[in-house]
Amino acid sequence: MSGTWMTTRAWLLMLPLLIIMLAVIGWPMIDTVRLSFTDAKLVGAAGNFVGFDNYLKMLGSSNFQRALWATTWFAVVSVTAEMVIGVLAALLLNQQFYGRTVLRALLILPWALPTVVNATLWRLIYNPEYGALNAVLTQIGLLDSYRSWLGEPGTAMTALIIADCWKNFPLVALITLAALQAVPRDITSASLVDGAGSFARFRFVILPYLAGPLMVALVLRTIEAFKVFDIIWVMTRGGPANSTRTLSILVYQEAFSFQRAGSGASLALVVTLIVTVLAIGYGMLVRRAAGSAA
């Protein structure tokens, strides 16, 4: 069979998928770019061409800047916490103890829950009237009276970050746990004989084996955190006082609540651009981590 025929056949086999992808991703993308240069509303007329107006207005608006800051804060804090807690949990679950298998299986539960379920669950925990968090904190004497954790701008973002961490640290823990299985026993034994304590052993012996997989987890989690929408939408809808309004929430509000399809589209493209830059940057880091581990 000739090479040309193989190539043709490969393209033929991929063709249906390519058509579907172009239809559901390519076309909307191109149309979003077109929309972003117009003043189109969500319904009604097609809108007029306004050049870079949408972009300039948006970049200058305090709404965008605050949303960008909220998103960055959410992403950095939640991903950092998830990485640290995830690695610690994995190190614990890698020890020999009774009931380890059950705990390992339970670990996956928060991550397996749909985000909406998780968000609803945490809304109940944070409930200002009958929430478990208020009950626990008042009963152990840390709190005088019940508070509205999601209703106060000072605590809403932290409450959201905790909920997001609870859901997503298991992913990091699972990836780490898998990577830990790949650390050769001889190497940990050698470090014991060499006299390395727990910290030195982690730093010099185990961490190099975790670097690559952890980098992948970091990339996945950062990109997801930057695009975060559902957990916030269910828990706070961007409030109170827009304190938890991230970029994706802003896009949604702009396009669907305020029905400004044109500026919504420009905002969506900026978010896409930020995430793409992050993905490329991280991609380079991953390759470097993989290179140094080999």
The amino acid present at 142, given as its one-letter code, is L
Least spacing, CB of residue 191 vs other proteins, in Å: 8
How many residues touch other proteins under the rule CB under 8 A: the total is: 20
- 190 forms part of the interface with other proteins (CB under 8 A): yes
- 182 forms part of the interface with other proteins (CB under 8 A): no
- 200 forms part of the interface with other proteins (CB under 8 A): yes
Give the residue, chosen from 47, 208, 239, 240, that forms a contact with other proteins under the rule CB under 8 A.
208
Structure tokens at 36: 């972003």
Report, in angstroms and rounded to the nearest whole number, the Rg of the chain calculated over CA atoms. Answer: 24
Distance (Å, whole) CA 180 – CA 184: 9
CB atoms near residue 216 (< 10 Å) = 15
Give the residue, chosen from 7, 8, 189, 259, that forms a contact with other proteins under the rule CB under 8 A.
189
- 287 forms part of the interface with other proteins (CB under 8 A): no
Footprint on residues 61-80 left by other proteins (CB under 8 A): none
Mapping DSSP onto H, E and C, the string for the chain reads CCHHHHHHHHHHHHHHHHHHHHHHHHHHHHHHHHHHCECCCCCCCCCCECCCHHHHHHHHCHHHHHHHHHHHHHHHHHHHHHHHHHHHHHHHHCCCCCCHHHHHHHHHHHHHCCHHHHHHHHHHHHCCCCCHHHHHHHHCCCCCCCCCCCCCHHHHHHHHHHHHHHHHHHHHHHHHHHHHHCCCHHHHHHHHHHCCCHHHHHHHHHHHHHHHHHHHHHHHHHHHHHCCCHHHHHHCCCCCCCCCCCHHHHHHHHHHHCCCHHHHHHHHHHHHHHHHHHHHHHHHHHHHHHHHHC
- 109 forms part of the interface with other proteins (CB under 8 A): no
CB 244 within 8 Å of CB 70: yes
- 290 forms part of the interface with other proteins (CB under 8 A): no
Residue 131 or residue 213: which is nearer to other proteins going by CB? 213
CA 160 to chain centre: 13
Give the residue, chosen from 1, 5, 186, 284, that forms a contact with other proteins under the rule CB under 8 A.
186
- 292 forms part of the interface with other proteins (CB under 8 A): yes
Give the residue, chosen from 11, 49, 52, 204, that forms a contact with other proteins under the rule CB under 8 A.
204
- 194 forms part of the interface with other proteins (CB under 8 A): yes
Q: Interacting stretch for other proteins, rule CB under 8 A, among 38-46, 84-92, 106-114, 193-201?
A: 193-201
Residue 108 or residue 293: which is nearer to other proteins going by CB? 293
Q: Interacting stretch for other proteins, rule CB under 8 A, among 21-29, 133-141, 204-212, 217-225?
A: 204-212
- 43 forms part of the interface with other proteins (CB under 8 A): no
Give the residue, chosen from 101, 130, 195, 284, that forms a contact with other proteins under the rule CB under 8 A.
195
The amino acid present at 124, given as its one-letter code, is L
Give the residue, chosen from 80, 127, 148, 191, that forms a contact with other proteins under the rule CB under 8 A.
191
- 192 forms part of the interface with other proteins (CB under 8 A): yes
Give the residue, chosen from 28, 153, 154, 184, that forms a contact with other proteins under the rule CB under 8 A.
184
Give the residue, chosen from 196, 216, 279, 285, that forms a contact with other proteins under the rule CB under 8 A.
196
**Residues found near other proteins in the complex (CB under 8 A):** 184, 186-187, 189-197, 200, 204-205, 208-209, 292-294
